[in-house]
Amino acid sequence: MPKAIVNARIYDFDEYIDHGYVVFDETILEKGPMEAFDRDDCTIIDGSGHLVIPSLVIGHTHIYSAFARGWENSFEYESFMDILEKQWWRLDASHEHDTIYHSGIVNAVDHVKNGVTTILDHHASGTIAGSLEKLRKAVVDTVGARGAFAFETSDRFDVEACLAENRAFIDERHPNAPGLFGLHASLSLSEETLRRVKERLGDTPIHIHVAESELDQQDCLKRYGERVVERFARHGLLNPGSILTHALHINDAERDLIAEHDCVVALNPSSNMNNAVGIPDYPALRKRDIPVIVGNDGLTSSVTTEYQALMFASHVQAKTPEAFDLGDLARILDETYAYASKLLGVRLGRLQAGYAADLLMLPYIPPTPMRASNALGHLFFGLFNSFKPSDVFIGGKHVVKDFEVDAPTREAYAAAKDAAQKLWNQIERQKGASR
């Protein structure tokens, strides 16, 4: 039986209805003003006092970092390499199937509760074979979200195992869980490794960190006499639809290459500020019509706060509030939905007939008049800083109900704490062994 949310405010980043309904099964069937609602074949959900919008997409995250929360890991900082080597590479190296699965549960539950139902993940773990399948089981099968998964190929790991894991997962062609070909970053990938990646890549898009810190760019110039994006282009790796993450320390020639190869850039402003590596140059990307998607880099499990961070940081960076406005946000939302729709083979981002029923209900009584032309402003200034939908639907399935996931998923979430402790113990053992 189809579901009908009635008596709600409805907004899909395009049309706004002040008192309306939306009817859906796996896909949206229809929407309209309440006076036009005449169906008696639906399960009715009362949307009074709620705003209904399409659910959101995270463009770059690291599920494996879920267990960094509360991890007491101190180290001396000299450069960005210390953050990689002494924080993230210590953490990911100790991940096994059980901890990968439970970090997937935690990350996906936290995301869906924050209104994010499509998760583009960039994964690394000491246990390589089968790791992406564990993530898929957690994120897609257990929590019910959509995801795209990639293993960060790196010279830190057994390269053959990384290549095989990416290729095997991509070739499975799971519904709701495509694979991208994952690569860590220029500074951890030799020429030989990139040649081997090219042999296995075919036309699959890559997912990679690009010039997150100046070190990545300096290392590339020193070792190869060229810039990071030029290096990937020379190896023939920039397939259309590739996700180049950060792209902080790149120049105009590299931006031209990104545009030429139809890649997208995933910006992660909070993570960049936290790591003190810089602030994205959004206007330079916009100028070249490079599609931009926004990630959280695993630092949070939200995307709305990243949209806010991107606006505020862009203003500081350019010393003008004109560097990023709500029109830019609307454009990023459109580009993100277009990218994710193509990647996943579903239509996301509108409450129109034929689109996937990925939507959410936000408790919201507008304190000022609300209409199509200012609804995005209501969202950005009234809701994005504390974005807690009461109900979330993915492909029509009621995944978050009255702010909670179902009981089996809550149990899996509670069990994650033991998995996290196991991971921390394993890291301590590794540290002891290497001393």
- Cβ at position 209, least distance to Zn ion in Å: 5
- Cβ at position 62, least distance to Zn ion in Å: 6
- Cβ at position 97, least distance to Zn ion in Å: 22
The number of beta carbons lying within 10 Å of the beta carbon of residue 406 is 14
Q: Per CB under 5 A, does 297 bind Zn ion?
A: yes
Cβ atoms of 391 and 401 closer than 8 Å: yes
- Return the number of the residue (152 or 281) whose C-beta is nearest Zn ion: 152
Scanning 42-50, 226-234, 297-305, 347-355 for contacts with Zn ion by CB under 5 A, the matching segment is 297-305
- State which of positions 338-357 bind Zn ion (CB under 5 A): none
How many angstroms separate the Cα of 157 from the Cα of each of 90, 126, 165, 428, 433? 13, 7, 12, 20, 18
How many angstroms separate the Cα of 255 from the Cα of each of 247, 258, 323? 9, 5, 18
Site string for Zn ion, 261-280 (x = CB under 5 A): --------------------
Scanning 50-58, 145-153, 291-299, 333-341 for contacts with Zn ion by CB under 5 A, the matching segment is 291-299
- Cβ at position 107, least distance to Zn ion in Å: 13
3-state secondary structure of 156: coil
Q: How far, in whole angstroms, is CA 214 from its chain's centroid?
A: 23
Written as one letter, the residue type at 130 is G
177 DSSP 8-state letter: B
- Return the number of the residue (216 or 297) whose C-beta is nearest Zn ion: 297
Residues making up the chain, counted from first to last: 435
288 DSSP 8-state letter: T
Nearest one of 181, 281, 289 to 236, comparing CA atoms: 181
- Cβ at position 348, least distance to Zn ion in Å: 22
- Cβ at position 179, least distance to Zn ion in Å: 17
Size of the site for Zn ion (CB under 5 A): 1
The H-assigned helical ranges of 97-251 are 97-113, 131-136, 159-172, 191-201, 214-224, 228-234
- Return the number of the residue (147 or 395) whose C-beta is nearest Zn ion: 147
Q: Which residue's Cβ has the minimum distance to Zn ion?
A: 297
- Return the number of the residue (122 or 261) whose C-beta is nearest Zn ion: 122
- State which of positions 152-211 bind Zn ion (CB under 5 A): none
- Return the number of the residue (105 or 267) whose C-beta is nearest Zn ion: 267
Rule CB under 5 A: which residues touch Zn ion? 297
